[in-house]
């Protein structure tokens, strides 16, 4: 396995990432992993997504992990519509790697990253299938007008919004979340396979979100409810084993 540190460009911002390649052979299935919206300041010792990427890479997937704008070592400020452009830049990068099998081009998203994955897959036919973990049906808890200033202040405190004059328009920032709202786009992934994984003990995104998304989605689709699983699905071993088996069966 080879690990390469990469830099992506989106809207003039530099985004940090890692590409995990099983071998130099051509024709590997490819997976882009999308992290969620941060709730705490970044922990440089947390290798959670790197370990996850290694796991999928060992299973034969070229695997990309990267930091969306406003997170980790990437530039910029947290902006969900900007995140969709970040993911587009990541997919463009992957699509031009010589080892990639373009017919097996997969997305795995967690929470806010799952929402962006749904939105992007609905607009990008290159995506072959989508697996989501703890995906919200909507962002109402973040963007209610009476709570948006508090939400922005919280993102400032954890370093996800870094510029004092950002966002230039609070209304436009809110509209970004409304645009990306997964319940609007989930039915456009069909006829490509869709997996929704959700914990019945999720403390942030109630299980009813998964049921709403599943009901709106079209076939082929699957909903996997993990007993006792909380919001951080990447830490749930049984959930990640299920996702890997689901991906391998379709790639």
- Output the 3-class SS for the chain: CEEEEEEEEECCEEEEEEEEECCCCCCEEEEEEECCCCCCCCCCCCCHHHHHHHHHHHCCCEEEEECCCCCCCCCCCCCHHHHHHHHHHHHHHHHCCCCEEEEEEEEEEECHHHHHHHHHHHHCCCCCEEEEECCCCCCHHHHCCCCHHHHHHHHHHCCCCCCCCCCCCHHHHHHHHHHHCHHHCHHHCCCCCEEEEEECCCCCCCHHHHHHHHHHCCCCEEEEEECCCCCCHHHCHHHHHHHHHHHHHHC
The Cα–Cα gap between 149 and 194 comes to 34
Beta pairing partners, 130 = 107, 194
pLDDT digits (tens, 9 = 90+) for 229-242: 999 999 999 999 99
Place of tokens 């897959």: 121
pLDDT of residue 65: 98
pLDDT of residue 147: 65
Average pLDDT over residues 90-99: 95
pLDDT at 145 over 90: no
pLDDT at 146 over 70: no
pLDDT digits (tens, 9 = 90+) for 110-126: 999 999 999 999 999 99
Contact 246, 222 (CB under 8 A): yes
pLDDT at 178 over 90: yes
Q: Which of 70, 28, 71, 29 is nearest to 49 (CA)?
A: 71
- The predicted model scores a pTM of 0.96
Structural domains of the chain sorted by starting position, each given as residue range(s) with its CATH number in brackets: 2-246 (3.40.50.1820)
The Cα–Cα gap between 14 and 224 comes to 35
The Cα–Cα gap between 157 and 162 comes to 9
pLDDT digits (tens, 9 = 90+) for 36-94: 999 888 777 777 899 999 999 999 999 999 999 999 999 999 999 999 999 999 999 99
């Amino acid at each position: 396995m080879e690990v390469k540190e990469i830099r992506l460009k989106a809207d003039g911002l530099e985004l940090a990432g890692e590409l995990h390649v099983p071998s130099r052979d051509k024709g590997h299935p490819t997976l882009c992993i999308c992290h969620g919206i941060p709730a705490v300041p970044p922990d440089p010792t947390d290798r959670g997504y790197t370990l996850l990427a290694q796991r999928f890479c060992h299973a034969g997937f070229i695997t990309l992990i990267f930091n969306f704008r406003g997170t980790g070592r990437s530039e910029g400020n947290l902006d969900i519509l900007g995140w969709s452009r970040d993911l587009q830049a990541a997919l463009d990068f992957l699509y031009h790697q010589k080892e990639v099998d373009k017919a097996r081009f997969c997305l795995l998203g967690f929470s806010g990253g799952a929402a962006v994955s749904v939105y992007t897959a609905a607009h990008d036919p290159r995506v072959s299938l989508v697996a989501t973990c703890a995906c919200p049906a909507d962002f109402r808890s973040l963007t209610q007008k009476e709570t948006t200033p508090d939400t922005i202040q919280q993102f400032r405190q954890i370093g996800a919004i870094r510029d004092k004059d950002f966002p230039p328009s609070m209304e436009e920032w809110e509209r970004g979340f409304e645009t990306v709202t997964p319940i609007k786009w989930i039915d456009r992934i069909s006829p490509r396979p869709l997996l929704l994984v959700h914990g019945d003990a999720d403390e942030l995104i109630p299980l009813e979100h998964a049921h709403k998304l599943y009901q709106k989605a079209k076939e082929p689709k699957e909903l996997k409810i993990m007993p006792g699983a909380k919001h951080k699905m990447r830490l749930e071993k049984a959930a990640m084993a299920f996702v890997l088996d689901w991906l391998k069966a379709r790639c």
